[in-house]
Structure 1
């Protein structure tokens, strides 16, 4: 928040946005660890917060990209839209969901959306409820290159029961699923790992509110598909918000996005748990 910015930042740092200020910091900035402490102090003093939003953007060398065997697909903030499917008539069955964290509800029938709200400049986008949609162009490219693991279901315009082509499809990921393992870090924010486990399901379905590190999956999760999803969820259930699975893709898919200039997402390197050698 702007009114607390002087506790750590110079007056000319960042970009003022009304009551807030956007600050970009490198991971090696010595002030970075102080943000969590200041946030806790302000919360204790006033009930407010030093910051209300954050994002981590990881940049890689060409050598790191070339040597990576797996990537996490992240839909960019500019490709989010609302209303969510549930607000447009999409039905969900909560019967299969976890009794504790409520993750894993099953979508029943087609995805209904307000098609006019999907960002037209993107090839992949996501509702605030976590439903991922892709353009006809992306579907055509994936089909041409025989990308495995992904399925596409036509999206329907809200309040219209008949299926009319509209150029958008829901992305579904086929099984099997990958298992997220340590040292993957999850928590509330980069300065709070949620030691009390407020957003960790004791049954292991939802592992935390936010991913704070690159993802590592178990060695048994080395599947041959180009697109895979994790068994575990990240996030929370609140209204139309639902915990989401992590989407992982092969280097081939990342190159397709890059070479075809598909828009709406970015990629982080993901890791596979190293095989433990025994004597």
Structure 2
């Protein structure tokens, strides 16, 4: 890359880190019904309002060495992870998504980051985020649709309908049902990506959830009966499918043919 491309990428990383910091606030406050602009962010230990240094994305966490400089309480790594994720995703999207789809990609990763923070913190995917996102992507897909519109409408129905069926089946068998927030999120992913890629997302999110869940149980960090938030797996799978879904499906079909 030339210096102009590097400068553009660095700028996108900085912007993404700034937005990532804001997405942390939204994901932590909206489920609790707290305004995202007031009161100002403060230390969870001593209540001291954060100053300019504390609020610098990524660098602020390292400058403070992950602790409040007043009381020494640890600062949750969720903040720096969200900021890094925002920076990396914003900077990388132009390299993996077509120019037209960037209008979809940036709002999508923003919503997925917010919902991931919320689900990890409270095991909750708030309707106050999902429903406006559905309206936003419905409007965007009316103007930006590489596939026929019905693909996205069917993706919405199949995405949400598949998880609803799984939840009803689990209830019938006396097992924990899937949350309606997960069902709505998969419907949202289907609305954004269409029928073909939402089916891949359903499979990939289940695979990720199974592998990571088994790993956590085997390591003793999670009890077999403990609930685990499924939203982050949908978010990760959704991002992968949106950016790399078509090449993944082509690779898989070629693999089947060669076998």
Q: TM-score, normalised by structure 1?
A: 0.29
Q: TM-score, normalised by structure 2?
A: 0.30
Tell me which of the two structures has the higher relative contact order, counting C-alpha pairs closer than 8 angstroms and 6 or more residues apart: 1
Greater fraction of residues in helix: 2
